[in-house]
Structure 1
Amino acid sequence: MQQMLEKTAERLCVAVTSDWPKTAMNSIELSVTTGFDGASGYVNPQQKFYDEENDDRSPYQSLFVCGALIIQLKSLSNPKYLWNNPTPQSYRFFRPLKIAHQKEDNEMALEEYNRLGEEIKHLKPFKFTMGKGVTVMVEFSVSRTLFDGKNVNAIVGNKATQRCPMCLITSHNFNNQNVFIPKEGSLSHGLGLLHCEIKIFDHLLHIAYKQEVKVWDVTKNIKESVDLYAGQVRDRLYNAFKIRVDQVIQGKGTSNNGNLARKFLDRPKDFANALDIDEELVCNLATITKVYRSALEIEVEELKKFSDFTYKLHYIKYPWARMNPSMHKILQHGPDIVRQFPMPVAFYAEDALESMHKIHRETIREHSRRNSRENAILDTFNRAVYLSDPILSMVYLDRRREMHKKRPLTNDITRFLKPGQWTDPEDRSNED
């Protein structure tokens, strides 16, 4: 980690500090957030590696990725000089720390989390000289937030997947309590915004599937009628959005992902009408996710009141529907998590880490040597290094901004944001 952060700081200073005065370069802080994730489905090549006796071992079909996402570079000697990552969910600023053919499990997640903690504890300031003899001293600020729900459960020791990893209350009791006190230290692991969006989308789908029987646990005697109505719901969604949802993909779960969830939540009224469920609930959930995605400072108390109202509205409208832990987390613990970090929570989301799996699959398939596994994984790591190089990424950034779809900040979003962060709510684009 020390070596990668030093190289990152050096390249980032060259890319973004050309107009900073020498006094601002005396002391600089580089903020990053780290985390890890595993993925399966990496297909073994057809030919045999010369250094492997058995090419079909299952660990080689899984890839474990650990890395650091650049958040901010700021001058400590002159605070008005700073640079924030303009695309915090882009893999272009995700620096790899470790790539290995290892199968992710709870024991490994906890071991890797502790290893990152030890490396963070022993980080040292970095001093180097830029062009024209400018001496720069860089300090590092490192968070650990790039985790999905499974890894957070492993880190906090929560063995029940239907129990909130923050307050350790089971989903059966979410409707029976008014106060949810988080476990000490659990809020520092971030919101897991990408997976919260997917889980909210899945939850709304299943409310629609089961609203005729009004029973959350589907038993054998009602399964046929629920499946029949679920097919009708999917057909309505396809007619409204021209997108097929909830398709089973062998070895990967379903086709529901973050892009799909945002696509539907961007049009909450149409989504609610297609599902035939309460429009206010869907609109409120869409607003909350967009506020967190805005990458702007939030009026936490206002958002807390709105989240509490939405939480109660859910159980008023659908008392039989059992909320999943991720949806509970964003509504009950989201505002408290916001208070844990100096930057908006969108900067600490895990999108970039998840995006790297697609890049790594392409690299292993198209850009790596096939003569040994060591060379293949080395080529994968090296390509991830230069794809995330700050200087090259800044060149790519302008083209990304032109291609990126503009999402205006509407009044229902701006009322939860601190004023003075945008010029015109109708024109400013949300560059998440």
Structure 2
Amino acid sequence: MFIEADLSKRQYEIIRSYNPSMYPCYSKIQEVKKECYPDKESITVTETLADIKLQNLMDHTISRLLTDLYEVVKTLDEEERNALELICKWGCDGAQQAQFKQKFVCDSDTSANLFQSSLIPLRLICSLNGKILWQNPTPSSPRYCRPIRLRFIKETADVTREEISYIKDASKNLNKTKVQMKENTMMLTMVDGKVCNSVTSTSSTMRCYICGLTSKDFNCIQKKGTVNVETFEFGLSILHAQIRFFEAVLHLAYKLPVQKWQLRSDEEKEKVKLRKLAIQSEFKSKMGLIVDVPKANFGNTNDGNTSR
């Protein structure tokens, strides 16, 4: 133990002699850490809600980016600085979670469900010449994710529509930041199929929220639905795409013996059931993976790691 302590001390001395600033003073770290948070006045926290004003969140995000890009920004002329544009994506989603041992003022409130809306900055550009000053190196990572609102509430179609309306109204009223920015562009692309169905009032998951056709209509090439152009704002979302593709392949494999999507007779259902058990057994024996098995309280075993 004394040898290890002596060795670590010598290593520390060697590192300090080589680069004294490698271990900064902790009080300095605390001061810098405070600059990573928006103003306290812009944050509202209650028993069931944590919310930050979108204007303050955008101001803070932009100021932190420009601080990091100081050497780049100082090379721009005044006209270019006034034409900076920050492009962000945003979205919302709900999740179930374990309940905490906590008593709420209102007996109907519970911590069993969490609903969150957040944004991620994607790119900072100069709109005059299209020059990219900064680009998010990991746009699908939570590293740059900035929460807007957290609520203890169950995800429903009404809650989703209310949340999207709330964020859209706030984004329309965004003003210029302390630094002269041309505008802030927010795109609703952090969505899954459930959110898209809620916003477009699509009641059935078997119906396309863009054209309104069902799975039965997809085999008829001549049949065309009416495309809702407003749904294009969701983009080509890759959220959960890998998991959904994996499940689609699984379901096709299950139904190969009958070659039908909808199972009518008991004989067809039995064939598909046996085929499913055989595929699950093969995954378990050859790869050690448990596929398409329900998990306690929520979801199933078809997660991101399994699909990869």
Q: What TM-score do the two structures reach when normalised by structure 2?
A: 0.74
- Mapped partners of 1:17, 1:245: distance in 2: 49
Q: Is 1:201 equivalent to 2:246 in the alignment?
A: yes
Q: 1:111 aligns with which of 132, 149, 162?
A: 162
Equivalent positions of 1:23-422 (< 5 A) are 23=77, 24-40=80-96, 42-46=97-101, 48-49=102-103, 52=105, 54=107, 57=108, 59-77=110-128, 79-128=130-179, 136-137=180-181, 139-178=183-222, 179=224, 181-218=226-263, 219-261=265-307, 263=308
- Mapped partners of 2:198, 2:214: distance in 1: 16
- Mapped partners of 1:53, 1:164: distance in 2: 39
Q: How many residues align?
A: 250
The aligned amino acid for 1:38 is: G
How far is the alpha carbon of 1:239 from its aligned partner? 4.3
2:59 maps to what in 1? 6
SS of alignment partner, residue 130 of structure 2: coil
1:322-375 residue CA offsets vs partner (Å, 9 max, x unmatched): xxxxxxxxxxxxxxxxxxxxxxxxxxxxxxxxxxxxxxxxxxxxxxxxxxxxxx
SS of alignment partner, residue 174 of structure 1: helix
- Mapped partners of 1:250, 1:28: distance in 2: 49
Return the index of the structure with the highest Cα Rg. 2
1:307 maps to what in 2? none
Kept after mapping to 2: 8 A contact 1:237/1:243: yes
Kept after mapping to 2: 8 A contact 1:127/1:138: no
How far is the alpha carbon of 1:255 from its aligned partner? 1.2
Kept after mapping to 2: 8 A contact 1:26/1:77: no
The aligned amino acid for 2:100 is: P
- Mapped partners of 2:260, 2:208: distance in 1: 22
SS of alignment partner, residue 216 of structure 2: helix
- Mapped partners of 1:139, 1:173: distance in 2: 42
- Mapped partners of 2:237, 2:287: distance in 1: 26
SS of alignment partner, residue 100 of structure 2: coil
How far is the alpha carbon of 1:215 from its aligned partner? 3.0
Kept after mapping to 2: 8 A contact 1:60/1:101: yes
1:359-408 residue CA offsets vs partner (Å, 9 max, x unmatched): xxxxxxxxxxxxxxxxxxxxxxxxxxxxxxxxxxxxxxxxxxxxxxxxxx
- Mapped partners of 2:92, 2:66: distance in 1: 26
1:255-314 residue CA offsets vs partner (Å, 9 max, x unmatched): 1123432x1xxxxxxxxxxxxxxxxxxxxxxxxxxxxxxxxxxxxxxxxxxxxxxxxxxx
Aligned-pair RMSD on alpha carbons? 2.2
Kept after mapping to 2: 8 A contact 1:25/1:77: no
Kept after mapping to 1: 8 A contact 2:243/2:302: yes
- Mapped partners of 2:237, 2:119: distance in 1: 15
Residues 190 and 259 (structure 1), Cα distance of their counterparts in 2 relative to 1, 3 Å cut: farther
Kept after mapping to 1: 8 A contact 2:88/2:120: yes
The aligned amino acid for 1:143 is: M
How far is the alpha carbon of 1:98 from its aligned partner? 0.2
Residues 172 and 81 (structure 1), Cα distance of their counterparts in 2 relative to 1, 3 Å cut: closer
- Mapped partners of 1:195, 1:58: distance in 2: 29
Kept after mapping to 2: 8 A contact 1:59/1:103: no
- Mapped partners of 1:58, 1:171: distance in 2: 38
1:114-152 residue CA offsets vs partner (Å, 9 max, x unmatched): 222211211111123xxxxxxx43521111121111111
List structure 1 runs of 4+ shifted beyond 4 angstroms. 178-181
1:15-47 residue CA offsets vs partner (Å, 9 max, x unmatched): 23433314243431111111111111x22223x
The aligned amino acid for 1:44 is: Q
SS of alignment partner, residue 249 of structure 1: coil
- Mapped partners of 1:182, 1:11: distance in 2: 41
Residues 162 and 81 (structure 1), Cα distance of their counterparts in 2 relative to 1, 3 Å cut: closer
- Mapped partners of 1:139, 1:30: distance in 2: 7
Identity over aligned residues, as a percent?
A: 28
1:220-243 residue CA offsets vs partner (Å, 9 max, x unmatched): 344333222212112223444332
* Structure having greater relative contact order (Cα 8 Å, sep ≥ 6): 1
Kept after mapping to 2: 8 A contact 1:145/1:189: yes
Kept after mapping to 1: 8 A contact 2:109/2:152: no
- Mapped partners of 1:2, 1:202: distance in 2: 40
Mind listing any 5+ residue stretches in structure 1 that lack a counterpart?
129-135, 264-432
The aligned amino acid for 2:259 is: K
1:396-425 residue CA offsets vs partner (Å, 9 max, x unmatched): xxxxxxxxxxxxxxxxxxxxxxxxxxxxxx
How far is the alpha carbon of 1:177 from its aligned partner? 2.5
